[in-house]
A and B are shown apart, each in its own frame.
Chain A
Amino acid sequence: MIPQSFEYLRPESVREAISLLQQHGDGAKILSGGQSLIPMMKMRLARPEYLIDINRIPELRYIKEEGGYLKIGGLTREADLEHSDLIRLRYPIILDTAAAIADPQVRNMATIGGNLAHGDPANDHPATMLALRAEIVASGPGGERLIPIKDFFVSLFATALQHDEILLEIRVPIPPARSGGAYFKLERKVGDFATVGVAAQVALEESRACKEAGIGLTNVGPTPLEAESAGDFLRGKSLDEATIKQAARMAAEHARPSSDLRGPASYKTSMVRELTIRALVHAHQRASQQAPR
């Protein structure tokens, strides 16, 4: 399958990329890892006139802790996250998520920025970033701005990014001591998109009661979803079997899946409940094991 013809541009800086986006308006698309965009172009579901390849802008690829945040550059490859010691040791929920995306070849090209900016509810990082209460740093002609993740996913394939903005960085507030998270993905086969995915991040009080909980859902609606009521319910409660089951029931109520080749809607809703239980149990375990910082 051959994409429609397009002009190819390769800026060397963020400023240049933004100026090209401004110049070419709706006809331009950013090429990051291309692992979502290029398949769409091959099927001619996407037909940009101008492709702006940002892969040679060096300063967009990093994973670091700074100023109370985990900061990940938009061009960081999924493979970088998968093999990062910092992520493995301190943010295993992000390792769970990156490792669940597609396969090794795709992970060498695919970027976390693209995974979020594409606006596909089937992508995995959105649920995790919702659970982590992340912020998106966007850069446009007017400068940089911060977009809270809960405002980022607007509708199917549409995010809060303006047309002339680039996703520069993902910022995760460093969780307090006694925090833990996990991402569980149900898929028909390795490399598939999620039938259902659930991300859970919890922080515990010294008493081990839940201080804060965030639950994100993959591929059960037109956008990635946060199960806010389930997170609110858990606050102040002990994370025992009954509470977790109740939270899981509430998370399932947020889900609005479609019936498709991955299963009927009722099945997917049941699986949200089941995966929420597993994610909360695992998050709780990780939070309990974590030594005080």
Chain B
Amino acid sequence: MAKKIRIRIKINGVDRDAEVEPRLLLVHFIRDILGLTGTHVGCDTTNCGACTVLLGGKPVKSCTVFAVQADEQEIRTIEGVANHGKLHPLQEGFKEEHGLQCGFCTPGMIMAAQALLERNPHPTEQEIRWGISGNLCRCTGYQNIVKAVQYAASKMA
């Protein structure tokens, strides 16, 4: 077996460290070692975006990053989005605008949308659709997801 590597990661504001095999995927580190199962494994082929987390503030597909690459970096997952139990405007938006059905894609959508709004607080519909173009949804047809993001943008303005 390969030599394990010690990594230090700040996850949703909390410092954690662990010894991991180099081949451990970031998504598995987050789900299985940290126990944060809000981040989902969908396609496992870098397509669907259900595994999207913020790494150093940027949305990435955690099924296509090794945990060791995240050493000394900050990660934000869906569990870190609400503010001490108070829903983030994005979470409120998904609720108000019926932006989810089964909910499987939703954490990934919210992380991608959060990054979009942090970079561009007043996106056009085109820009929203472009911003979530790495996230697939089989249920909704995206219409209400776009509305949810627009809701959040106007709330955060």
Query: Which residues from chain A sit less than 8 Å from chain B, CB to CB?
Result: 1-8, 10, 31, 34-35, 38-39, 41-42, 51, 53, 55, 79, 102-106, 108-109, 190-191
Taking CB as reference atom, which chain B residue is nearest A1? B44
Do the beta carbons of A34 and B2 come within 8 Å of each other? no
Query: Which residues from chain B sit less than 8 Å from chain A, CB to CB?
Result: 1-3, 5, 21-23, 25, 44-47, 49, 52, 55, 58-61, 63-66, 68-69, 112, 115-116, 130-131, 133-134
Do the beta carbons of B2 and A106 come within 8 Å of each other? no
Q: List 8 interface pairs A-B (beta carbons < 8 Å), by A numbering.
A: A4-B23, A5-B23, A6-B22, A31-B69, A34-B66, A38-B65, A42-B63, A108-B58
Smallest CB separation, A10 vs chain B (Å): 8
Secondary structure call for the B interface: mixed
Report Cα–Cα, A244/B40, bound state, in Å.
49
Report Cα–Cα, A111/B41, bound state, in Å.
24
Residues of B within 8 A of A104 (CB): 59, 112, 115-116, 130-131, 133-134
Taking CB as reference atom, which chain A residue is nearest B134? A103
Report Cα–Cα, A125/B1, bound state, in Å.
37
Do the beta carbons of B2 and A7 come within 8 Å of each other? yes
Do the beta carbons of A2 and B23 come within 8 Å of each other? yes
Do the beta carbons of A55 and B22 come within 8 Å of each other? no
Smallest CB separation, B2 vs chain A (Å): 5
Do the beta carbons of A34 and B22 come within 8 Å of each other? no
Residues of A within 8 A of B23 (CB): 2-6, 41
Taking CB as reference atom, which chain A residue is nearest B71? A10
Report Cα–Cα, A190/B68, bound state, in Å.
30
Do the beta carbons of B21 and A5 come within 8 Å of each other? yes
Smallest CB separation, B61 vs chain A (Å): 5
Taking CB as reference atom, which chain A residue is nearest B1? A5
Report Cα–Cα, A35/B5, bound state, in Å.
22
Do the beta carbons of A53 and B69 come within 8 Å of each other? yes
Do the beta carbons of B112 and A105 come within 8 Å of each other? yes
Do the beta carbons of B133 and A109 come within 8 Å of each other? no
Do the beta carbons of B2 and A108 come within 8 Å of each other? no
Report Cα–Cα, A103/B130, bound state, in Å.
8
Smallest CB separation, B112 vs chain A (Å): 7
Smallest CB separation, B106 vs chain A (Å): 16
Smallest CB separation, B29 vs chain A (Å): 13
Do the beta carbons of B58 and A79 come within 8 Å of each other? yes
Report Cα–Cα, A2/B63, bound state, in Å.
10
Do the beta carbons of B47 and A191 come within 8 Å of each other? yes
Report Cα–Cα, A162/B52, bound state, in Å.
35
Residues of B within 8 A of A10 (CB): 68
Do the beta carbons of B21 and A109 come within 8 Å of each other? no
Taking CB as reference atom, which chain B residue is nearest A192? B47
Residues of B within 8 A of A79 (CB): 58
